[in-house]
Chains A and B, each alone.
Chain A
Amino acid sequence: MKKKRPRASWGDRILRSASGLTAVLVVGIMIWLGWEMFVSSRQSLHQFGWAFLGGRVWDPVHRIFGALPFIYGTLVTSIVALVIAGPIGLGVAIFLSEMAPATVRSVVGFLVELLAAIPSVVLGLWGIFVLAPFLGKVVEPWLGRRLGFIPLFHGAPVGVDLLNGGLILAIMILPTIASISREVMTAVPTVQREAALALGATKWEMIRIGVLAYAKSGIIGSVILGLGRALGETMAVTMVIGNMPNISPSLFSTAYSMAAVIANEFTEATYGLYLSALMEVGLILFAITLLLNIFARLLVWSVARGPKGGHLV
């Protein structure tokens, strides 16, 4: 006898195919985007090959294009942002989830999230008119005097430079890191904290073995999300970085980023190779972001696994 399928399975089937379709769609759009960019950058790919990645000259007048200054600018500003916003964001998250009394917690939490609501163009303006003079006149001369022997802090202070770009990015990704890390820490079960306390842990030891160790994959995830945001940010960076395709070890040097050069020069790209070179810069940015995300997955996955046979969150 043939069994009749219950009617509810129709709903299941529709749901399954609908969700399957959207999943395929998302992947499809990604592949299509990559392919389109690849096709559009063919001319540049053909002309320069791998040398494009290592090329230091960007000279539209003489039809010579190299992406290295932009890759360098994007990576350095993002790393500066991460080095500054990572520890501070984590500190804010620890303060909010483990130490602050309830009222302070909600006020400071709100302020941190407000930071995320500032439009990047406004941050950029602040970067030009407030941060740049302050960096150029106060911070950078001071750093130069104290730490000038390190190439990183060597050179004439301008204020519109890699350091400014990195700081603006740090402000932008701080809320991401702080609020996601805080969520993850708040979700750590109380019994984990009490397990540590009951062994005679101090407050800080409790945070370390009871909270941070438990939440580490989520914390890494928050940092990676912040990094993703920093890599792609265009407006604020282009306003404060100086927009010069330089590669200098000094943070006090003007520079340029991938997203910024695409946004600024797209309308000026008057001939095919120029446009194609810009497309290839976009393709590289796309690839870097993709690789970063794959790397992040692997990292989170290996951390989350913990010791053998275990499984974190």
Chain B
Amino acid sequence: MGNLSVRNLEAWYGAQKALLGITAEIPEKQVTAIIGPSGCGKSTFIRCLNRMHDTLPGAKVSGDILLDGKSIYDQHPVFLRKTVGMVFQKPNPFPSMSIYENVVAGLRLNGERRKAKLRAAAEKSLRMAALWDEVHDRLNYSGVSLSGGQQQRLCIARALAVEPSVLLMDEPASALDPIATQRIEELVTALKKTYTIVIVTHNMQQAARIADFTAFFLNGELVEFGPTSEIFTKPKDKRTEDYITGRFG
């Protein structure tokens, strides 16, 4: 569960084309990193995977994306997003909600009202996000009372609570300090047992540390996609080599 197959995906912002026909197989229960210089289309790409791109006025896509063999365009985006969760660059807990309410927000949207179920799901998700020990005695505090790193793990817990099969992360650690970043990286590695993870990062060391597969994007094109070790040790494309050796970007 959670295998993504991207077929000739193109994406536009109005008249500007941001993705020029991407084809890739993202394997299930692995970490796939998306790397590339700023503005190359990394965010656009993963925002297509849960159809968040479609919500922007003037935005357009063509091509197809299959999730476990079924086109994501054949189901309503509201249902798709329950299967394909997302974590954003800047932590964005709901400030009007407590820690607990943040975690169960998605379940409540699904109509779950039973207290016991919600409690259990909240604890499970917070444990998976490695946040439970830090917050279990103050679940009724505001989500924004936490530190930046904790807020980001709260957002991960919030995404996990609806039990998706794919988790998309758009530079989830770029706003965090090194220690918080390390915790997120450990978390990603632990979560891949259960989830397919697609993570955007502009930090190549991070990709090398946590990703099983790496995709290198440049100017809206997927230049190279393969096992992380191969991308970093023997890239096939000259442009990949230039990028990872720091000759541009």
Contact = CB atoms under 8 A, between A and B. Distances in A.
A216 B96 contact: yes
A308 B143 CA distance: 9
A192 interface: yes
Given A198-B159, A199-B162, A200-B162, A308 B142 contact: yes
- Which of B96, B138, B140, B162 is packed against the most chain A CB atoms within 10 Å? B96
A197 to B, nearest CB: 6
Interface in B119-169: 138, 140-145, 155, 158-159, 162
Interface residues of A, number: 28
B160 to A, nearest CB: 11
Contacts of A102: 57
B190 interface: no
B38 interface: no
Interface in A56-108: 101-102
B110 interface: yes
Contacts of B99: 307
Contacts of A189: 92
Interface of B is mostly: mixed
Contacts of A210: 94
Contact of A213 (B55, B96, B106): B96
B140 A307 contact: yes
B105 interface: yes
A195 interface: yes
A191 B92 contact: yes
B141 A200 contact: no
B90 A199 contact: no
Given A200-B79, A202-B78, A309-B145, A192 B86 contact: no
A116 to B, nearest CB: 28
B156 to A, nearest CB: 12
A209 interface: yes
A311 B146 CA distance: 12
Contact of A201 (B78, B95, B101): B78
A310 B146 CA distance: 9
A198 B85 CA distance: 6
Given A194-B88, A199-B106, A199-B158, A308 B141 contact: yes
A311 B144 contact: yes
B94 A214 contact: yes
Contacts of B29: none
A312 interface: yes
Nearest to B50: A198
B94 A213 contact: yes
B162 A311 contact: no
Contacts of B57: 101-102
- Which of A197, A200, A308 is packed against the most chain B CB atoms within 10 Å? A200
A164 B143 CA distance: 46
A312 B140 contact: no
B97 A197 contact: no
B90 A191 contact: yes
Contacts of B52: 194, 197-198
Interface string B57-98: 100000000000000000000110110011010101111111
B109 interface: yes
Given A189-B92, A308-B98, A200 B110 contact: yes
Interface string A212-225: 01101000000000
Interface in A167-223: 189, 191-192, 194-202, 205, 209-210, 213-214, 216
Contacts of A205: 109
A195 B88 contact: yes
Contacts of A306: 95-97, 142
B92 A310 contact: no
A199 B103 CA distance: 10
Enumerate the 6 nearest inter-chain pairs by beta-carbon distance, A residue then B residue, closest first: A310-B142, A309-B145, A199-B106, A200-B82, A307-B98, A198-B86
Interface of A: 101-102, 189, 191-192, 194-202, 205, 209-210, 213-214, 216, 306-313
22 contacts: A102-B57, A191-B92, A194-B52, A195-B92, A195-B93, A198-B86, A199-B85, A199-B106, A199-B159, A200-B79, A200-B82, A201-B109, A209-B94, A214-B95, A306-B95, A307-B97, A308-B145, A309-B141, A310-B142, A311-B144, A312-B95, A313-B95
Given A199-B158, A309-B141, 18 more contacts: A191-B88, A192-B94, A195-B93, A198-B81, A198-B85, A199-B82, A199-B159, A201-B109, A202-B78, A205-B109, A213-B94, A213-B97, A308-B138, A308-B142, A308-B145, A310-B141, A310-B144, A312-B96
